[in-house]
Amino acid sequence: MPRADGVSALVNSIALGLAGISRETPDSEGGRFERDLDSTPNDYVLANAMNVFTGLIPADTLEYLKENLEKGLQSNAALGWTQIQDAGMSYQLVELMKKLHAEGKMNHKVYAAVPVDEALREGIQIETHVIGDRAVRSLLNWYEEAHAAVPRSEWASEDLRWRMDHAQIIPPSDQQRFVELGVIASVQPSHGKRNLARRCLGHSETANHYQESDLDLK
């Protein structure tokens, strides 16, 4: 059962057994099995550690996915919602949404990802998820490369308002780049409260954890 943000999940003992996870199993790269005091994995898995359980879950049929999308749209509209944003929609779901639109069953607007060059020319705001300082730096590099690839004369707007979600660990050398590129550092207070980064990486690696007060993004 994944968290809503998709970065961790709960599994039961049956799933652990089917995946062959035991106290001798090392943590996967980029992931972690939470353990009891005797090193026995418990029911909480983080990040890439979730991948070993993916193959244990039967694949959803297109009919099932389409039906659930339609029910979700109806439920949202019943609450008065007029639009939503999905930060993790697959191309498969995008195609199903197109079919629902053609059938006149789109009860509200749905925003999903588009190629970056199209975003610059159409004035579409980009949102990308990052975790960790290397991810932050890599994404700043990609944003900078995208800016350089499309002449500014072809940009729909100079005020791009591109966003980086979970910008939690930002080295001082990269903080100024947020300002120069006009990138919005989006942080989630609930993540800071849990302080998972400090638990996993240690204090020295998280000295630049949640530095939003140092970012002047006017």
Query: Does the pLDDT value for residue 218 go beyond 50?
Result: no
Confidence of residue 202 (pLDDT cuts 50, 70, 90): low
Domain boundary among 54, 72, 92: 54
| Other Cβ atoms closer than 10 A to 88 | 10
Residues 6+ apart with CB under 8 A from 128: 139, 162, 163, 164, 165
Query: Does the pLDDT value for residue 162 go beyond 60?
Result: yes
Confidence of residue 173 (pLDDT cuts 50, 70, 90): confident
Domain boundary among 19, 36, 54: 54
123/107 same-domain check: no
Query: Which pLDDT tens digit goes with each residue over 113-131?
Result: 656 667 888 888 888 888 7
163/201 same-domain check: yes
Query: Does the pLDDT value for residue 32 go beyond 90?
Result: yes
Mean of pLDDT values over 136-155: 91
Query: Which pLDDT tens digit goes with each residue over 78-117?
Result: 999 999 988 767 778 989 999 999 999 999 999 876 566 6
Could you give the percent of the chain with pLDDT greater than 70? 83
96/140 same-domain check: no
Number of domains into which the chain is organized: 3
Q: What residue numbers bound the domain in which 185 lies?
A: 116-214
Decide if 2 is inside a domain.
no
90/137 same-domain check: no
Task: Name the least confident of 30-34, 38-42, 193-197.
Answer: 193-197
Decide if 98 is inside a domain.
yes
Could you give the percent of the chain with pLDDT greater than 90? 46
Mean of pLDDT values over 203-207: 52
Token pair, residue 126, equals 């980009």
150/184 same-domain check: yes
149/201 same-domain check: yes
136/194 same-domain check: yes
Query: Which pLDDT tens digit goes with each residue over 34-70?
Result: 999 999 999 999 989 999 998 898 889 999 999 999 9
Asked if residue 120 lies in contact with residue 155, where contact means CB atoms within 8 angstroms, the answer is: yes
Decide if 68 is inside a domain.
yes
41/120 same-domain check: no
Q: Is 188 exposed, middle or buried (0-12, 13-18, 19+ CB in 10 A)?
A: middle
pTM for the full model?
0.54
26/84 same-domain check: no
Phi, psi (deg, nearest 5) at residue 41: -60, 135
158/195 same-domain check: yes
Domain boundary among 80, 96, 111: 111
Q: What share of the chain is helix, strand, coil (3-state, %, to 5)?
A: 45, 15, 40
Q: What does the pLDDT read at residue 203? A: 55
Q: What does the pLDDT read at residue 55? A: 86
Q: What does the pLDDT read at residue 126? A: 86
Decide if 67 is inside a domain.
yes
